[in-house]
Structures are given as C-alpha cells and as structure tokens.
Structure 1
Amino acid sequence: MNEMVSTAQTILQNESNVTFVSGGIAGAVSRTVVSPFERVKILLQVQSTRAPYNNGVFKAISQVYKEENVKGLFRGNGLNCIRVFPYSAVQFVVYDYCKKNIFHVDKNSAVAQLTNVQRLISGALCGGCSIIATYPLDLLKTRLSIQTSNLENLRNSKAANTLKPPGFWQLFSKVYREEGKVFGLFRGIWPTSLGIIPYVALNFTIYEQLREYLPKEEDVNNLKSSLKQNTYMLTIGAISGGVAQTLTYPFDLLRRRFQILTMGNNELGFYYTGIYDALKTIARTEGLRGYYKGLEANLLKVVPSTAVSWLVYEMTCNSIKRL
C-alpha cells in the first residue's frame, strides 16, 4: 500500500502529469455544472425558425425537463465528460509545453511571461491538438443531445428515436458504417477548427493577460486571502471565456450544423456545400441574427464553465503539488 502511494506521488510530481490531471478534472467539473445550458444551446443552434424552443433559454430548459425529466438536462453529459477530460487536459499540457520548450518561459528563465502574440500561437496549437484528439466524441455527443428532442423538423423522422435512443456504441457504429467510416467520425472538423482554435487562443491569451493584473497571492492558508484569490480567478476566467466565445460564436454554430447534416434524411433542413455556402445561406434565410442563434444559452454555459474550469485547474494544481 505504501509503495502504491509512493508511486502515485512520484507520478504526480512530474509537472506535465500535474497539468494533465488538473486540466482534465477542470474540464469535466466545469462542463457538468453547465450541462443543461449546453444541451439547450445545441437545440437552439440546429432547430428551424418555427421550432418549439424559441421562447428563451430558461423556458427551453423547463420544456426539456418536462419532456425528458432531469435525465434530459444531462443527456450526453457522460460522453461529454469523457471527451472533455482529454480535450481540456491536452490544451493545458500543450500550452505548458509551448511555454517551456518553444518560447522558453518558466520560473527560472530570464523571460517571466509570454507575449500576447506567443500566447495566441500557443493557444492556437493547443486548441488544434485538442480537436484532433477528441473530435469523434464531440460529434457523437452532439447527436446524442438532439436525437430525443422535440424539434419540429426532426420529429417522426428516422433521425429521432425518443423511445429507445441508440447509445454511444450503437451510434458510433452507425456513423462509422453509414457515413464514410473515419471520415464520417470527423465530419465538420474544418468549421469546428475555425471556431475552436481562435476561441482557445483568445481564452488563454485574455486569461493570462488579466492574470498579470491580479494582486500577488497572499497566504493561501488564510481563508480570507484564499477566498479573495478564488474570486479573482473566477472573474477573469468568466471574462476570458465570454469575450472569446462571443467573437468566435458563428463558427460554433456552423460546427454543430455540419455535425448533424447527415442525420436521417436531412430532416433538419440544412443543405450546405461548404463553409462559404453555409455562411451565405444562413444570411439569406435567417438574417444576421441567424449566426448567433443560441448565443444567450452559450454565454450562460461558457461564462461559468470557463470560470469554474480555470479555478478548478489552479486549485487542483496547487493541491497536487502540496501532496
């Protein structure tokens, strides 16, 4: 037993392992906290203009609850946590790697901080790596989120199955078998990359820049000091996530729509030949507001999610290092 504890401590003493574990825990906790907003955001993004979820975010959450109970609010969250753990962990590890091995910034170096350009580059790299590592899980999570919904243009189609919705492995097998094998599992990765890479880059850049303005951490064992520091972390995490997501949101909407284009017999009504065609079609049929469908729900999800993610990451890192 003592040997196992000693081995675990040795593993966690490796800084990359600390970053990986802390990033993964931060991602899973933060996404679970806001899971109802995540599900409603996806429903708002993929519904038609006459669909039943157009009466506001909280009414939409209430409707999902009435139709599917508590389970409906967290549908797809288990898979999302499985996806988010490596997704978030990879981001923090790659960012830390870029900082230390590409730009040679660490506690012992002459350079104390990355420049904002270096932060953007590092953030873009960690965003791209996290997409490649976890994209099929993101696609399947999106489909699990909408297949039991009451979307008018999905109802009574073979894309929906509210009584016995397929589970993860059934859905994985179906997509792989019927939609081009590996290509089908990565459907929509290009518009996803256009949204996620700048989002992650901006999130890390804004957070790290704001972190420089924080008062220096006082005695962390002092409850008042610790609470104050945690409040600062939550605030700058919320700001960084909110600003980054608002600037890149249209591509998040495209990401979801491309992920469900081939569900059933295209009952959802989206026919895009590419990203440029999608942007033109949305502007023509839905107006400029069409690019921001579900933005309110997304901000209600992203702002607390990013805030919690950064806070949990910082707290977990500190806790593991004190072991």
Structure 2
Amino acid sequence: MSTEAPKRDQWQWENATAGAAAGFATVAVMHPLDVVRTRFQVNDGRVSHLPIYKNTAHAVFAIARSEGLRGLYAGFLPGVLGSTISWGLYFFFYDRAKQRYARNREEKLSPGLHLASAAEAGALVSFFTNPVWLVKTRLQLQTPLHQTRPYSGVYDAFRTIMREEGFSALYRGIVPGLFLQVSHGAIQFTAYEELRKVIVDFKSKGSTVHNQNPDKLLNSVDYAVLGATSKLAAVLLTYPFQVIRARLQQRPSGDGVPRYMDTLHVVKETARFEGIRGFYKGITANLLKNAPASSITFIVYENVLKLLKPARRND
C-alpha cells in the first residue's frame, strides 16, 4: 500500500506548524508598532477618541507615558492568536494549493500558479480570522479618552459585540479584508518564491549542493532579505485595504451607529476629506513593523521546516 498520501498530509502539517511558530514570534516582537499603526489608520482628524500623534516615535512614547506597557500591548492576545492561526493556515493552504497545481507537472510552478496558490490561501484565511482581527482592532483603539465602557478583555469584547451589534458585526471589514489577504499574500509569496529562485541559482553556480538540496545554499540572512523585500512590495501595493478595514472595524459611537457604513463609504469619505494621503496613514509604523517582522517570520518558518524535515525523512 502506498504511503504517499500520509506523507503528503504530514508535510502539510509541518508547514502549518512552521507557519504558526513564525506568526507567534513575529507578533511577540513587533506588536507595539501594530498598535501605533492602527491608531494612525483610523484617525481621520474629524471624529475620533484617539490622541493626536505627530509621528511614529511620538506615538510610541506618548502611549508608553499615558497608558504604560499595557497600552503598547493592547490587543496582544488576539494579535498572537490571529497571527499564529493566520500564518499556520496560510502556509497550510498555500502548500496544499501548490501541491495540487504541481500534479502531473515535471517543471517548476510558474509565477502565475504561485500567485493563484497564494490568493487561494489568503481568501480562506480571511474567513477564518476576521472576527479575531476585529477584536484586536477594537482593543488597540481603547484609550483613556474612550467615551464608552471599555472591553475588559478578549472574551468580554466578543460577548459585548455579539450582544450589542450581532453576529454579523464580527465580519465587519471582511470585503477589504478579502482583497487585502488575497492581494497581499499573492504579491508577497510570488515575490518571495521568484527572488528565492534567483538567489538559489546565483549561489548554485559552481556548487555541488544544488542538485541534491538547493535549500542548503540558503541561510538566515538570505531568508531575512527575502522576507523583508517581498513584504515591502506587498505593503506598498495593498496598504489602502488595511486602512479601509481598520476604519470599518472601529467600535460604534454611543448611539450605536458605525462611523462608516461600508467599504464604499470609507473610500468616498477618505478621498473627499483626506485625499490619497488618507489611504496611507500609519504606513511608516507599518513598514517599521512589517519589514523586520517578515524577516523574522521567514527565518523562523524556514528553520523550523528544516528541523521537521529530518523527522519526515526518517518516517
């Protein structure tokens, strides 16, 4: 009896495990910048319960001074949970899609198929994780200036949202979230895979390792460069979706009416009052967070995967 299917399933779970470990490490290190980014994104300068920050550095020091470490790590638990689940599921679905597309193909996957694999994974992950990201956003936006009763924690946030706004509120921002997950992941992973091929081909010239295992040619510095470069491309092209989603996921005011009704409303209002700059609010904090964060993610992911590969070969 063939053991190909069990081995394939095991390999997919190894990718999921490596992705989850990478996601946890990323959030643990970079979360304060995520808080700053979210507060910049939703502050439209008109109706806001948030303090005014001059720049990223000022925001970090102001939050630390007025809210302490707790403020800098607001929403940390759903951030860790969401990122760990997201990366775990993303790598799992991404690897499954690549394997499906690779069947009956002798050549390597084309950039188009890498793009399709990443887009498919992003869409699936978005449906699973949107409620977690909504709660994270709500907790990150709570400040001493907040006018409504604050959520006491993750469970209280879920319970209060369900009671006050209904189940559908957990999926506010799902439309820009889908566009974000599909486009961002597709761009990032396609860029990563193609740049990875370039580095492997460059390093393999004159090397005897290439034909046996090209992964041995790459080290943590290579993974860091690949992760940061591919993330930079994805962030610059997809950032407006993050702003739109964050604004939709804000907590309604005391009268229960959301600040923005839907995606089109956010786009119209932001373009009208803030122009193109409004769609890129918080991008400095985002780049400071995501460039090194993506490096950490791929360093952890690739190295955890290498640790798991010997176990797979010995089974």
Q: Which runs of 5+ in 2 are unaligned?
A: 1-5, 210-214
1:226, CA displacement in angstroms?
A: 8.1
Q: Give how far 1:266 is off.
A: 6.6
| Counterpart AA for 1:170 | D
Q: 1:121 aligns to what SS in structure 2?
A: helix
Deviations 1:243-263 (A, max 9, x none): 101101111100001011525
Task: Name the structure 2 match of 1:37.
Answer: 33
CA distance in 2, matches of 1:226, 1:95: 22
- CA distance in structure 2 between the partners assigned to 1:204 and 1:299 by the alignment: 17
Whether the 8 Å contact between 2:118 and 2:182 is mirrored in structure 1 is yes
The CA distance in 1 between the partners of 2:73 and 2:251, in whole Å, is: 23
User: Cα distance, 1:156 vs. partner?
Assistant: 4.9
Higher helix residue share: 2
Cα RMSD for the two superposed structures: 2.5
The one-letter code matched in structure 1 to 2:26 is: S
In structure 2, the residue matched to 1:322 is: 310
Contact 2:252-2:259 at 8 Å conserved across structures: no
Residue 87 of structure 2 corresponds to which residue in structure 1?
88
Asked whether 1:60 is paired with 2:59, we answer yes
Residue 277 (structure 1) shift: 2.6
1:300 pairs, out of 288, 306, 311, with: 288
Partner of 1:240: 230
Taking the aligned partners of 2:86 and 2:11, their CA distance within structure 1 comes to 18
The one-letter code of the counterpart of 2:278 is: G
1:5 is aligned to none
Opposite residue 127 of structure 1, the aligned amino acid is G
Contact 1:13 1:321 in 2 (8 A): no
From the superposition, tell whether residues 123 and 264 of structure 1 become closer, same or farther in structure 2 (CA, over 3 Å).
Answer: farther
Instruction: Give the match for residue 274 of structure 1.
Output: 262
Amino acid corresponding to residue 118 of structure 2 in structure 1? G
Among 245, 251, 255, the residue aligned to 2:245? 255
1:157 maps to which residue? Answer: 147
Does residue 171 of structure 2 align to residue 171 of structure 1?
no
Distance 2:256 2:166 in 1: 16
Letter in 2 for 1:236: L
1:27 equivalent in structure 2:
23
Q: Is the 8 A contact 2:24 2:84 kept in 1?
A: yes
Please give the alpha-carbon distance, in whole angstroms, between the structure 2 residues aligned to 1:253 and 1:118: 29
Q: Closer, same or farther in 2 for the Cα pair 1:20/1:263, shift >3 Å? A: farther
SS in structure 1 at match of 2:103: coil
What percent of counterpart residues are identical?
Answer: 29
**Offset, 1:281:** 1.1
Secondary structure, aligned partner of 1:138: helix
Q: 1:195 to 1:103 in 2, by over 3 A?
A: same
1:208 correspondence with 2:193: yes
Poorly superposed stretches of 4+, deviation over 4 Å = 10-13, 216-219, 225-228
Q: 2:298 matched to 1:310?
A: yes
Matched, 1:186 2:185: no
- Indicate the larger mover: 121-130 or 71-80: 71-80
Match of 2:140 among 127, 131, 145: 145
The CA distance in 1 between the partners of 2:78 and 2:265, in whole Å, is 31
**Alpha-carbon shift at residue 311 of structure 1 (Å):** 1.2
1:296/1:266 Cα in 2 relative to 1: closer, same or farther (>3 Å)? farther
Within the alignment, does 1:230 sit opposite 2:230 as a pair? no
TM-score normalised according to structure 2 size: 0.86
Question: How far 1:49 sits from its partner (Å)?
Answer: 2.3
Is the Cα–Cα contact under 8 Å of residues 75 and 144 in structure 1 kept in the other structure? yes
CA distance in 2, matches of 1:226, 1:99: 21
The letter of the residue matching 1:248 is T
Secondary structure at the aligned position of 2:260 is classed as: coil
CA distance in 1, matches of 2:44, 2:136: 20
1: distance between equivalents of 2:292 and 2:307? 22
Tell whether the 8 Å contact from 2:101 to 2:113 is kept in structure 1 after alignment.
Answer: no
Could you tell me how far apart the structure 1 residues matched to 2:60 and 2:217 are?
Answer: 31
Query: In 2, Cα distance between the equivalents of 1:309 and 1:156?
Result: 34
1:12–1:18 CA contact under 8 A, matched in 2: no
Matches within 5 A, 1:49-128: 49=45, 52-104=51-103, 110-112=106-108, 114-128=109-123
Residue 212 of structure 2: aligned partner? none
> Does the Cα contact within 8 Å between 1:43 and 1:53 map onto a contact in 2?
no
Give the 3-state SS of the residue equivalent to 2:198 in structure 1. coil
Which residue of 2 is the match for residue 135 of structure 1?
130
* Unpaired runs of at least 5, structure 1: 1-9, 220-224
1:76 to partner: Cα distance: 1.2
Would you say how many aligned residue pairs link Structure 1 and Structure 2? 293
